[in-house]
Structure 1
Amino acid sequence: MKEIAGKKVILTEGEFLRREEANKRYLMKLETPYLLRSYLHEAGRYSGRGPDAEAFGGWEDLSCQLRGHFLGHWLSAAALHYQETEDVELKAKTEVILKELELCQKDNGGEWVCPIPEKYLYWIGKGRNIWAPQYNIHKLFMGLIDVYRMMEQPKALSIADKLADWFYRWSGRYTREEFDDILDMETGGMLEVWADLYEITGQEKYKILMQRYNRSRLFEPLLEGKDVLTNMHANTTIPEVLGCAKAYDVTGEEKWLHIVEQYWKCAVTDRGCFATGGQTQGEIWTPMKKLKARLGDKNQEHCTVYNMIRLAEFLFRQTKDPAYMHYIEYNVQNGIMAQTYCPEGGLLTYFLPMKAASRKEWAGERDSFFCCHGTMVQANAAWNHRLYYQEDDHLYVTMYADSQVSFEMQGRKICLTQNQDYMNGSLMTCSENNAKQTINETVSAYANKPDFRKYVFTIHTQEDTPFHLMLRIPDWIREDAMVYINDDLYVKTNNTAKFVAINRVWRNDDKVTVLLPIGLKFIPLPDDASMGAYRYGADVLAGITEKERILKLETEKPEDELSADTERQWGEFRTFYRTENQDPGISFKKLNEIGNEPYQIYFKVK
């Protein structure tokens, strides 16, 4: 199974597209000299006489041991955008950066091109404490590889290959036990780098580097079924296991796949998740099925969300199990979308607090540049990913978003468009006069907010073509989903554990309509059934409150406590709720629409 992405998947409207475009503008706004500042400084090419008042702060400050990490994320994000849009300005900016990196590498002696000194790596070889140099360097490798693949820039591969020679010599200085000690100190995502470069070049040195970076002290206990994660830092091990995933893609060796499977079992299946789909508190894994005591102000690190989405996507490609896409949907809606691009300004949050009466702490565009700043630009460059997959004559629709996908079946070119029908009815037709509306039957048919979501797929083909259309049914549906083909009911189902399969000869303008019943669900904590969070579909709802509140229920169903509030404004239905029996009342809105308000996700109910 292969993902369809790049130019073949175009977002047509909606929140995904808005965020994608905002992300591209942000990448272009960041000045090239400041992106390169740490690299120029390390290579002796930075005079220090520039207008540094506007230089990036936080982790990009020259005093920080992780300085320069963001450029790798920037390169990856730029490559993702270019792969879809072929934006010439992004390409030109990237080419300038590559030219400067090439000069830095030359002035450093022909191999080293990193924003930190070589001695940092020798220090970790001596057991000296230093802040994650391999994490930092992995980002540069990652960006160069992505630019090579998606922008077709051979210079990027050349820079990476020469830098790899340095790592080959450095890592070869140590015995197996000594290098295992280094990996225990800090590894980053280097295994994935070597697997990527082995796939691209086939060079033996990368196979050897993969063997050296096989962290057996972590992987062997995982394979034995031991819990090696409780209270351990999450986002140091996830990149290592992503390296195992890539190693399996490249070599086909089953041991790598087994490590990934056991990691997922230990991290997700046996451990459980918050209602958001996310995990962790204070960057560490929670105890298995014990989340109540970990509701704090540092839940759900954005990097962890992003990297676990990547891991889930890999496992989906291996298994075709919709459960991995359910996991991704929750983390997209309540992680990526809830932690980036504040509705009221602010760029991202490192964490998503789940302690009552918390607020999101928004970082700005130039003052932080912590790790999540980097994964933020990557995540928001990839909104046209994870939507469609193809295997032989099967097309899989895994996410619902306004888009179009181009693909081939039996050598015939086909386009599938996906559009959400919001069933708003009375639509504005004049931006200068809010009273001017079209009059149609939908107005009376959906006087109130519909209790289902409606998606319409249209086939565009010049030749009749047989293939299987596979539709994911989200696990948040309230009752049977319904699928229609050209207005005729095809199936009703509440089975969210497998795809709906439609095998037929498709003709031009054939239409498939999917109706997904939606409503409120109360999601209890795994270790306290009397404490939970509300979800509307995949979206977690947050109550606006400056102090912790307890819900006193009039019925046995927590869902009955909330009712729609201001459900319609102008030409659209909205997702706002209010409590029925609390004094004072509590207003609820989607977590991904929370800006600077104090909020509460988990409520005790009595």
Structure 2
Amino acid sequence: MNTNSQFMELDGRQTQLLDPELRRREDENRSYMMHLENRFLLLNFNLEAGRDTSAEAIEGMHGGWEFPTCELRGHFLGHWLSAAAMRYHASGDREIKAKADSIVDELAECQKENGGQWAAPIPEKYLYRIAGGKQVWAPHYTIHKVFMGLLDMYEYAGNETALQIAENFADWFYDWTKDFSREQMDDILDFETGGMLEIWVQLFGITGKEKYAALMERYYRGRLFDPLLKGEDVLTNMHANTTIPEVIGCARAYDVTGDEKWRKIAENYWDLAVTQRGQYATGGQTCGEIWSPKKKLGARLGLKGQEHCTVYNMIRLAGFLFRWSRDPAYLDYQERLLYNGLMSQAYWQSDLSHGFTSPYPSRGLLTYFLPMRAGGRKGWSSKTGDFFCCHGTMVQANAAFNRGIYYQQEDHLYVCQYRDSQTTCTVNGSSVTLLQRADPLTGSSHLASTSSAKQSVLEDTRKYPSQPDCLVPCLKLELEKDTEMTLQLRIPGWLAGEAVILVNDTEVYRSSDSCLFVPLKRVWKNGDVIRILLPRAVTCFPLPEDESTVAFLYGPLVLAGLCEEERILHVPDAAHPEQILTHDNEREWGSWKSTFRTTGQERGIRFIPLHEVGYEPYSIYFPVKSDQ
């Protein structure tokens, strides 16, 4: 077993999310999931099992990739079950668990009708076809989602029936693969396999049965993994989200078996995909689902930028690598993809009010791809007419945002992300509760024209007359007794100045060093308060191969310029293009805004955080020209 298993994430009901925007997204995600009817979620499974023999299209049935003639039909339900299980694990939501449990019961009935093993929404012959070299659209991908949903329902929601279905289903694969030669199996694995390796690892970890270890070896994709072990580039111009789930399977295999081979594959993959390749300001590296060439990203600023699925899965992979290494660079990466991927590509909501209107809808569900082209617009999908692969990762990604915030190893408590939240754990036999809230530095809690907040004159109204350009997380400890422990506080890579840490108003740390953990070891007392000041600023992020084409970030937030075409920005200092951006509409009510405008341009441009863009045309990258 991997010895890093003692380094534990504090997830589930140990950690409560308090951030209002992320909770809104969780609630919208739950509402969407509950809106989808079981009959239509299960339709393709029931059709395959002969339990639904409707002679015509049914009003309300799902379209797009879930339509009964699509070869990927049924893929979404596995994602839905995973999301429901994660939601229940995080919140104890009994209603969504009841809905999920009833779906699992129906899948058990489908499996019985199929002979006791097969539990997929597609026929077995799809796999026989790919074994014969015939083209079928990724049957393993669809089947993996079913397994994933079942095993998550077992691990997160305690559904024993789900595990039994998965084990019976796995028997079909054990029998089907046993007579293939290594070359034949390798040919099969050249068709997209999704996370099938991870499934066999999960089942081996849960049950310890050797047949799952055998399936792990059969699903070892040597044509990908062996070159990765040698450090060879097997990604350029290859489909991105085919391989990320496969490598996540390797990462999980290391956790379960401790075999260093699996860890090396995952680490080499990251080095090749991210470190050597470079990245866009958003954190992505792909266009049209394809890995871009190393450090040559500018030629691929298209409409089909980073795919939501790759964002979600790279966040997952970064989580494994962080647990192994404790390197906070992986946390910076996750943070950037949260804001500029997950939040920018799903559950957008307009903030217009007080009589202001827009010709566009007030909400956006999902944009499969994030446009990177100048003047691009996000393409928002429908609730039941599309069901792209990213609909699935969308419901998973938004099921529980309380993950990845806190970790613990013995008497070390790691604060990894700064989101309003609360976590509870046990340290040296003592119950420890850590409450995290960001100080808005506004001097007012008057948030809207309808609020009844107090109008007291507070020091911060004078201390911060303008946007303070600082994130200030505050941590409060609730202890049942004095407790010796070490708080490991993350200082992010986007730090723009000196980070300052105060304990009970006494300064204990000051440094401009970034992308590290600051350890605070002491005997902590009930009520102790830690205040962390993290200055942030607008910075420019050039393309790896072209420093004259830049994007702008405010801390971890990518800023989108609202314009319909490519615009050249004229800058007085070529080394610091960010100096042409200044705060714009910096405050509304009692909230500071992260919005900017250009200065010194013939035509000005407003910049807003990318995740706040709905239907407007926008640009992320701009050519800059020095006036010197």
Q: Normalization by structure 1: what TM-score?
A: 0.98
Does the C-alpha gap of structure 1 residues 49 and 93 become closer, same or farther in structure 2, counting only changes over 3 Å? Answer: farther
Q: Distance in 1 between matches of 2:220 and 2:579?
A: 52
Report whether the alignment pairs 1:566 with 2:585.
yes
1:518 is aligned to 2:539: no
Indicate conservation of the 8 Å contact 1:426/1:443, yes or no. Answer: yes
Q: 1:305 aligns to what?
A: 311
* Correspondence 1:166 to 2:167: no
Residue 84 of structure 1 and its aligned partner are, at CA, apart by: 1.3
Change (3 A) 1:152 1:435: closer
In terms of mean alpha carbon deviation, does 435-444 or 451-460 score higher? 435-444
Contact in 2 for aligned 1:346/1:365 (Cα 8 Å): no
Q: What is the distance in 2 between the residues matched to 1:560 and 1:110? A: 66
What SS class does the counterpart of residue 541 from structure 2 fall into? strand
Gaps of 5+ in 2: 1-6, 350-361
From 610, 621, 627, the equivalent of 1:591 is 610
Give yes or no for contact 1:322–1:496 (8 Å, CA) kept in 2. Answer: no
CA distance in 1: counterparts of 2:448 and 2:181, whole angstroms: 73
- Give the partner amino acid of 1:152: G
1:349 & 1:435 partners in 2: Cα distance? 37
**Number of the residue aligned with 2:276:** 270
- Tell me which moved more, 412-421 or 442-451: 442-451
267-276 or 171-180: bigger deviation? 171-180
CA offset digits 1:413-444 (Å, max 9, x no partner): 11000000111213228864679733322222
Q: CA shift at 1:14, angstroms?
A: 2.4
Please, which of 252, 261, 269 is the counterpart of residue 255 of structure 1?
261
Deviations 1:496-524 (A, max 9, x none): 24200000111100011000001100111
Distance 1:283 1:101, change over 3 A: same
The alignment partner of 1:362 has SS state of coil
Deviates more, 1:495-504 or 1:30-39: 495-504
Taking only the aligned residue pairs, the percentage that are identical comes to 53
Q: Which residue of 1 aligns with 2:40?
A: 34
Equivalent position amino acid for 2:86 in 1: L
**What letter is aligned with 2:441?**
M
Deviations 1:361-410 (A, max 9, x none): 01121111110110000000130001001111111111000000001101
SS at match of 1:130: coil
> What CA distance in whole angstroms lies between the structure 2 residues aligned with 1:247 and 1:597?
44
What letter is aligned with 1:289?
K
Question: Which residue is equivalent to 1:144?
Answer: 150
Matches within 5 A, 1:481-500: 481-500=499-518
Partner of 1:181: 187
Amino acid at match of 1:267: A
Aligned residue in 1 for 2:494? 476
Aligned AA for 1:245? A
Corresponding position: 1:85 with 2:104: no
Map 1:273-352 onto structure 2 (within 5 A): 273-343=279-349, 344-352=362-370
Gapped regions of structure 1 (runs ≥ 5)? none
CA–CA distance in structure 2, aligned partners of residues 434 and 275 of structure 1: 40
Q: Is the 8 A contact 1:7 1:83 kept in 2?
A: yes
Give the alignment of 1:429-444 within 5 angstroms.
Answer: 432=450, 437-444=455-462
Cα 1:376–1:429 change in 2 (3 A) is closer
CA contact (8 A) 2:580 2:598 kept: yes
Aligned to 1:240: 246
The letter for the 1-side match of 2:181 is T
**Post-superposition offset of 1:493:** 2.0
Hey, what's the Cα distance between the residues in 2 that align with 1:371 and 1:208?
A: 29
- 1:389 paired to 2:407: yes
* Match in the other structure for 2:472: 454
- Relative to structure 2, which stretch is displaced further, 574-583 or 594-603? 574-583
1:74 paired with 2:93, answer no
Deviation at 1:247, TM superposition (A): 0.7
> How far apart are residue 412 of structure 1 and its match?
1.1
Aligned length: 606
Measure, in 1, the Cα distance between the counterparts of 2:97 and 2:474. 35
Equivalent residue in structure 1 for 2:546, among 525, 528, 531 = 528
Alpha-carbon offset, residue 88 of structure 1? 1.2
Distance 1:384 1:100 in 2: 30
Which residue identity lines up with residue 420 of structure 1 in the other structure?
A: A
- Provide the secondary structure at the position in 2 that maps to 1:143: helix
- Deviation string 1:249-287 (CA, Å, 9 cap, x unpaired) is 111001000111110111111101101111101101111
Amino acid across the alignment from 1:366: T
Distance (whole Å) between structure 1 residues aligned to residue 510 and residue 392 of structure 2 = 43
Per-residue CA distance 1:264-311 (angstroms, 9 max, x = gap)? 111111101101111101101111111111111111111001101111
Conserved? CA contact 1:455–1:514, under 8 Å? yes
C-alpha displacement of 1:51: 7.4
Q: CA RMSD in A?
A: 1.3
